[in-house]
Each structure stands twice: as C-alpha cells, then as structure tokens.
Chains A and B, each alone.
Chain A
Amino acid sequence: MAAAASPSSMESAPRIMRLVAECSRSRARAGELRLPHGPVATPVFMPVGTQATMKGITAEQLDALGCRICLGNTYHLGLRPGPELIQKAHGLHGFMNWPHNLLTDSGGFQMVSLVSLSEVTEEGVRFRSPYDGEETLLSPERSVEIQNALGSDIIMQLDDVVSSTVTGPRVEEAMFRSIRWLDRCIAAHRRPDQQNLFAIIQGGLDAHLRATCLEEMTKRDVPGFAIGGLSGGESKNQFWRMVALSTARLPRDKPRYLMGVGYATDLVVCVALGCDMFDCVFPTRTARFGSALVPTGNLQLKKKQYEKDFRPIDPECACPTCQTHSRAFLHVLLHSDNTAALHHLTVHNIAYQLQLMSAVRASIVEKRFPDFVRHFMGTMYGDPTLCPTWATEALASVGITLA
C-alpha cells in the first residue's frame, strides 16, 4: 500500500534516483534520475528510437519537446550498422548526435518476437540474421558487450523472455535463467561507472514465480529494476496485479521501469502503482498511421469527419503542430504522399506523452495526485466511474477511489 512498506536496498552503491515527492495515498512517486547525460524527471515516458533515429523527427526537435531520455534497440543496431562502427562514431550518442540520455534494451525481446528462427539455450539466444542469413549467438556477455560499445546511459540485462500467454514449466525455467543471466551480465559489464545496468524481473503471470524472482534479483547490486514479461497478450486484470506485486517488493530508493507500457490510462494507473519509467512504440507508431493522441482518446485524422475541422488537434497542447496546424490541414496532408504529415503527428504524440507525464509529476509534487487521476479518467471515459474495471480495481488497491 504505502511506500514505507517497501524494503530499502541493503547495498551501499550510489543511488541514481532521488525521490522528490511521494503520494500519501497511492504508491506514486516523483523523482529525479541522475544520469551521465543529465538529469531526468520521473515519472518519465521514454519514446522509442529503435534504429538511432526518432523516426522522422530530428534530434533538435526531440530536444525542443523536452525529451531527456529515449530508447535505442540493441538488436537492430547490433545488426545495422553494428557495434564496431558505432564505437568509431563515439557511441550511439555520437552516431545519432543525441546530447541527452539513452537507454538500450538487451536485444532479448526482439530476438524472440521478431525472429522466427531463434533458439534459446542456457548459453544465450541463437538466431539467424534476417539481413544476411548469418547465424549468431546473443549471449548475456555479447549483449553487454554490444551495449558497452553503444555507450547508452542505461543498459538492460539479457533476459529469457517468454510471452505472457505461455504457461507451464517454461515460465519457471525462463525466470531462473534470467537470474543467472543477470549475474553473467553484471560480471561482463565493463563500464559500471558510465552505464547503469538494470535487472529485469520475470516470472510471467505467476505470483509465486514473480515473488521468487524479486527476492533473488533485489539481492543484486544494480542501480535499477525493470518489470518485464508484461504488456503482451495478457489480460489487464492479471497485468496490474503483477505490476503491483513487483512494486511492493522492489526497493523504494531505486527506479522501477515498466517495459512496453505507453497507453495513457496504463501510464496513469501504473504510476499510482509505483512505477517511474515507461517506454512504448505506440505513440510514435500510431502517429504514422494518422492517429493523434488527445485527452479523450485519439483522433483518426484521415477520416472524413476532420475534413473541415479547423481546430488544432488539441487547443490545450503546446506542441508546434498544434500551434500552427489545423485538423483539416493535417487531414489533407495525410492523404498526400508528403511525409511531413507523419512528422507533424509524431511531434504531437510525443508532446502529448511528455506533457501527460509532466502533469502527473506536478500533481504528485503538489499533493493532488488522486484528484488528478479522477480528472484524467473523467476526461478519458466521460465519467470517472466509466473507467475500465481493471483500472478501477488497480487504483482502489492503492487507495484511490474514482467515484
């Protein structure tokens, strides 16, 4: 329930997170990450820049939106252009000329989700490159080696990722293997002073397995913890219970990174449950399909109903797209072959996510987070009581009622 129930870490390693405020009802926290490329206010949403680019927007545009940390993908970058070239370019920061923070994942998730011919053994994940057919092994050591070359501020352990819809002994095997792989990653990490290695809690949807994983991994001296293996095909009901279980047992003074979560409602609820960091391709991906995120959901701007709508996407939004363009113009542009249309929406959707997190944080600092949640749900669903059941229950579990 309250933050005080979470155990503090026993180690004496420096903390990268400073807590600025905590909600007295829920588990929500506002904080600040101290990272090599500058401070990052939490809770934070991290846009995903996969292949050393935030899709169609420049580093300058991303900086102007207030983004201070974004993601790169080890799997993709490890193949193209490869760690050696990136190292020559002064790391991923130098290669893409991004002055702020970067987080790279281990490559584990893509290996399993993208590559049909991948095989997991104790050694690592063996797979066939889709580009040149070459067979390679991504081991914990190799993943850390690549991430060391990339030079990202936060690196992720290689975990044995299993879909949340899988049941049976495979889940347990993956959980224990992830612990062993965490230890191998810690041992292989050459730059602990410049790069922060996070552990990833696994265990699927099994409370007992999760608890075991939490107990073991929190014994390791890592700067932060991610909650993995969720945001797949599982039901929201199971999802939030695993998140809540995890935050209850993760140390209070270290950041909690919930991987793959990015829908607005999910973000707000999971902040209430005690998470600090989030990433998701959704906002940037949906932009490229012509969908603009707004407090009431989304606008499918290619639809005819926006043809003569001369309002901006969101009159309250401060982003460059909303300052200059109308829905009607974006509608026209989206039906043309000018890629600028996609960039306008990418800018707006990232701004929406960052503005949302900013507002969440301010409400925590100003001690009105529960009211913020009620107002948010009211706007999104028409009435706070019309909020989805799972969210209502999740919020109730940490002391926030919507009625």
Chain B
Amino acid sequence: MELLNLMLFSYQDLEESHRMKLSLTKVVNGCRLGKIKNLGKTGDRTMDVPGCLLYTKTGSAPHLTPHTLHNIHKVPAMAQLTLSSLAEHHEVLAEYKEGVGKFIGMPESLLYCSLHDPVSPCPAGYVTNKSVSVWGVGGRVEMTVSKFMAIQQALQPDWFQCLSDGEASCAEATSIKRARKSVDRSLLFLDNCLRLQEESEALQRSTIIGVIEGGDVMEERLRSARETAKRPVGGFLLDGFQGDPMTLETRLHLLSSVTAELPEDKPRLICSVSRPDEVLECIERGVDLFESFFPYQVTERGCALTFSFDYQPNPEETLLQQNGTQEEIKYVHQTKKIKTTGCNQEMTSFEINLKEKKYQGDFEPLVRGCSCYCCQNHTRAYIHHLLVTNELLAGVLLMMHNFEHYFGFFHSIREALKNDRLAQLKELIRRQAS
C-alpha cells in the first residue's frame, strides 16, 4: 500500500513538473524579465525572457549543420520550425513516429512550430471557415483542424501555434468585418484544436499557443485577447503586428492594449518582428519572445551585423564606437537600396555590406572583439572574396556571425533589464537605427 502511494505521489509530481511555469524576476516600465521553467518532454529545461527562438528553414538553421551551429555561443534553447516547410512531409514524419526533433537531428532542442515562415509570407485569400493553407515546395497544403492536429501529432513539438486566421492584417485597410471574422475563426479553431488535443495521447506533452488576431481594430483585438485568455493555452502569439517600420509604430499602441489583457504568468510571443529597434519597442509593451529571422535576412544580402549593444563600454571604446557608428550611418544614407533574392529587404544601418570594394583589403574581423567562429578565424577581406566569387562558405560564415551577434544582443537586453540600464541600451540602439 505504501509503495502504491509513493508511486501515485511521484506520478502527480511528474505531471506537475510537466506544466511549464513563467517566473518573472522583475517588471520595469512594461518590460518583463524572467525564466520559463519546466519545459520539454522531461520537464527540466529552462528558457530566458526576453529571448528569441532559433530560426530554421525546413528543420535546419539556414546554411548550418549541427557542427557549425554548435560553434555559435548562446544559441537559444528553443528553435522555431515552420509548418509551411514541414506540413507536406507529415506522412513521412508519421511513419517515422519519433517526432520532428529527432528527425531533423535536434533531439535536444525545445521546438516551437509556427504556421508560416516570417521571411516568406504566403499569398492571402486562402483562409476559410474550415481551413488554413500553408505553402511548401510542392505547393499549397490545405489544413482543416483535424488535418492540422494530425500533422502536429506526427511532429510532436513542445509548443505549436494554433491554427489561426491571420489575414485581417494583410491588406492595407482592414474592414471591421474582416477583423471580426479573423477573431471568430481563430477562436473556433482554438476550441476545436483544444478538444482534439484532449483526445490525443501523443500531444499531451505539447503546448498550444493561442493566437491573438483582430487586425487594426482595437475592439476586436481586445476581444481576441480576452477570449483567448479564457482558454487553457500555454502562451500567446501576437499575430499581425508586422509591417514596415511606419506600420509597426501605429500598431504599437494596439500592442500595449492587447498585452494588458493577457495573464502575466504566460509567455507572449510575437511573429514577424525581428529588427533590434522593433524588438525593444515590443519588449516595452510586454512581449517576451521573438523570432530570429532578421540575422538570416542580413546574411542573404551579404551583410554582417555590426551594431553595438554594449551600453556600458569603457570610455576609450565609447569614443571609438561613436566615431565608428557615425561613419556607418553617414555611409548608409548614401547607399542605394539593395535588391536581394527572396528577401526584398532594404539594408539597415545595423549592418555592413561585405560586397563593397572597400572591404577587399580589410584584414580586420567583421566586428572587433566578437567571439564568433567567423571573427575569431577570418577577415572581412576573406568574406568579401567569398561573396565576390559566389562561394557557399560566405553564407555559412555570415550566418554564424549574425546569429551570434543577435543572440548576444538579446543577452545584453536581459543584462540591461537586470541592472536597470534598458534606457541606455535603447538609446544606443536608437542612435544606430537609420
């Protein structure tokens, strides 16, 4: 009898330990600092907030094998997978049976599965009352709630974005009607997914992330937040706040109002926002987790992140950096827009373009003092050469540097919050934004 009690007690303990917990160490000016504990299948993993997720394409960090990925310091504990790249392979994954983490060779990583790829948004007009579509290499994959959940069952991620209608934010001016529909549909999808999850043995250890929709209509956004918060979701995804810097600014007000409605003890993710300046704006409005696709976009246009996040450098460095920063900003205003394949993004002032002739004989590392594999082993001149000769290694080395730089930035955000220095960091970043 004693033994049975002991066993029951341990079982309960295990169940408890599987429920993840967000513990905030402090909240200052709307910014939340803390840790999410009890993550993963074994319930013993932790994640820092504010933080970011490792961006992947088809289950692999872009350009990187586990070996080169391992060279990077401070890789986030959780990686982002996209359903758009994996949905069409669900039969294979179902037959594989052991989950997508093992399939992609990342059995130790926490995994979050988003619907779409933030870098290549899909064509609008394909959401119905019954289904949402994603685009893979083989074309469109239409998913009803049951198909969506079947796919998640094959993937077995730690977290997954619930099926949702994100199209209210696609068009220029969203009608209230469209905004309302996005909220209604997303809630219906959520309730159906939750019901199916209850019936699924395989998905007991996976957490559904509820999606906040509603376009640019305040009333609908608040309704979405309140209603979604009533459901037993593990966290919230703030969808549809992306856009060009101008658009984001007008939506920031909306964002504050939304997060105010959300429970404090559950993580808030935002999709499609990844630029350093925008990240800080969102953190100040209660967002915890971000995607890390920005360093990938920078890599694809042959650029390297060089912005400083050292908000308390020594006096000598300050002088050097100030002069350096000003030089970079001046130059960027003069350059033309860089057309990049697949990304169509303009170069920012957070980066330098290694294709420029001036780097041909520059034997400095990308960023002096950077601890990444590229900066420890190679020079700007070498990267320039690789880009000019169209060599694959350019992408590998730039990705390694850009990820490391970006993860270092997030680390500095957490440090700044811990030491009450976020204002300095924000000012430093603001000065470097064009």
Neighbouring A residues of B320 by C-beta, 8 Å: none
B389-A340 in contact (CB<8A): no
B85-A336 in contact (CB<8A): yes
Stretch at the interface among A160-168, A202-210, A323-331: A323-331
A51-B389 in contact (CB<8A): yes
- B66, CB-defined interface residue at 8 Å: yes
A81 to B391, CA, bound (A): 13
For window 119-163 of A, CB contacts with B under 8 Å fall at: none
- A347, CB-defined interface residue at 8 Å: yes
B104-A340 in contact (CB<8A): no
CB distance from A306 to the nearest CB of B (A): 10
B105-A340 in contact (CB<8A): no
B67-A80 in contact (CB<8A): no
Return the CB mask of A81-106 against B: 1 if under 8 Å, else 0: 10001001100000111000000000
Contact of B62 among A51, A55, A339 (CB under 8 A): A339
CB distance from B329 to the nearest CB of A (A): 29
Neighbouring A residues of B60 by C-beta, 8 Å: 333, 338, 340-341
Neighbouring A residues of B85 by C-beta, 8 Å: 336
A178 to B61, CA, bound (A): 49
Neighbouring B residues of A57 by C-beta, 8 Å: 393, 396
- B122, CB-defined interface residue at 8 Å: no
Closest to B104 in A: A329
CB distance from B255 to the nearest CB of A (A): 32
B137-A336 in contact (CB<8A): yes
A321 to B381, CA, bound (A): 30
**Given A328-B92, A328-B103, A336-B57; A55-B65 close (CB under 8 Å):** no
- B361, CB-defined interface residue at 8 Å: yes
CB distance from B387 to the nearest CB of A (A): 11
Contact of A85 among B59, B361, B396 (CB under 8 A): B361
Stretch at the interface among A31-39, A59-67, A213-221, A292-300: A59-67
A340 to B392, CA, bound (A): 10
Closest to A334 in B: B58
**Given A51-B389, A56-B393, A89-B379; A344-B65 close (CB under 8 Å):** yes
For window 260-312 of B, CB contacts with A under 8 Å fall at: none
B392-A60 in contact (CB<8A): no
**Given A53-B391, A325-B105, A329-B59; A60-B360 close (CB under 8 Å):** no
Contact of B58 among A64, A328, A336 (CB under 8 A): A336
Neighbouring A residues of B393 by C-beta, 8 Å: 53-58
A339 to B398, CA, bound (A): 13
A341 to B395, CA, bound (A): 13
A341 to B65, CA, bound (A): 8
- B64, CB-defined interface residue at 8 Å: yes
For window 75-95 of B, CB contacts with A under 8 Å fall at: 85, 89, 92, 95
A56-B373 in contact (CB<8A): no
- B63, CB-defined interface residue at 8 Å: yes
Neighbouring A residues of B361 by C-beta, 8 Å: 85, 88
- B385, CB-defined interface residue at 8 Å: yes
For window 306-360 of A, CB contacts with B under 8 Å fall at: 307-308, 310, 320-321, 324-326, 328-329, 332-333, 335-344, 347
- B378, CB-defined interface residue at 8 Å: yes
- B71, CB-defined interface residue at 8 Å: yes
- B96, CB-defined interface residue at 8 Å: yes
B105-A332 in contact (CB<8A): no
CB distance from B23 to the nearest CB of A (A): 34
A307 to B381, CA, bound (A): 41
Neighbouring A residues of B62 by C-beta, 8 Å: 338-340
CB distance from B102 to the nearest CB of A (A): 9
CB distance from A300 to the nearest CB of B (A): 18
A321 to B60, CA, bound (A): 13
A81-B381 in contact (CB<8A): yes
Closest to A56 in B: B392
**How big is the B interface, by class?**
35 or more
Q: Total interface residues on A, using CB and 8 Å? A: 44
A64-B392 in contact (CB<8A): no
Neighbouring A residues of B89 by C-beta, 8 Å: 332
- A199, CB-defined interface residue at 8 Å: no
CB distance from A95 to the nearest CB of B (A): 6
Neighbouring A residues of B67 by C-beta, 8 Å: 61, 64, 320, 347
Neighbouring A residues of B386 by C-beta, 8 Å: 51, 53
- A200, CB-defined interface residue at 8 Å: no
Neighbouring A residues of B105 by C-beta, 8 Å: 324-325, 329
- B22, CB-defined interface residue at 8 Å: no
CB distance from A221 to the nearest CB of B (A): 36
Neighbouring A residues of B419 by C-beta, 8 Å: none
**Given A53-B386, A55-B392, A89-B363; A326-B103 close (CB under 8 Å):** yes
- A258, CB-defined interface residue at 8 Å: no
Closest to A96 in B: B382
A329 to B92, CA, bound (A): 9
For window 44-68 of B, CB contacts with A under 8 Å fall at: 57-68
B382-A340 in contact (CB<8A): no
- B388, CB-defined interface residue at 8 Å: yes
B92-A308 in contact (CB<8A): yes
A320 to B89, CA, bound (A): 24
- A70, CB-defined interface residue at 8 Å: no
CB distance from A256 to the nearest CB of B (A): 31
- A52, CB-defined interface residue at 8 Å: yes
A57 to B64, CA, bound (A): 9
- B5, CB-defined interface residue at 8 Å: no
- B12, CB-defined interface residue at 8 Å: no
CB distance from A70 to the nearest CB of B (A): 13
A59 to B393, CA, bound (A): 10
A326 to B379, CA, bound (A): 35
For window 95-138 of B, CB contacts with A under 8 Å fall at: 95-96, 103-105, 137
Closest to B63 in A: A339
Most A-side CB within 10 Å, residue of B67, B95, B104, B388: B67
For window 391-405 of B, CB contacts with A under 8 Å fall at: 391-393, 395-397
CB distance from A149 to the nearest CB of B (A): 15
**Given A85-B360, A88-B363, A343-B396; A328-B96 close (CB under 8 Å):** yes
Neighbouring B residues of A88 by C-beta, 8 Å: 361, 363
- B377, CB-defined interface residue at 8 Å: yes
A81 to B66, CA, bound (A): 31
CB distance from B381 to the nearest CB of A (A): 6
CB distance from A110 to the nearest CB of B (A): 14
CB distance from B81 to the nearest CB of A (A): 12
A324 to B66, CA, bound (A): 9
CB distance from B73 to the nearest CB of A (A): 15
A53 to B392, CA, bound (A): 9
4 A-B pairs closest in CB distance: A56-B392, A336-B58, A324-B105, A53-B393
Residues of A within 8 A of B (CB): 51-61, 64, 76, 80-81, 85, 88-89, 95-97, 307-308, 310, 320-321, 324-326, 328-329, 332-333, 335-344, 347
What are 15 A-B pairs at a CB distance below 8 A? Answer: A52-B385, A55-B392, A80-B385, A81-B381, A88-B361, A97-B382, A325-B105, A328-B103, A332-B58, A337-B57, A338-B63, A340-B60, A342-B392, A343-B64, A343-B68
Residues of B within 8 A of A (CB): 57-68, 71, 85, 89, 92, 95-96, 103-105, 137, 342, 360-361, 363, 373, 377-379, 381-382, 385-386, 388-389, 391-393, 395-397
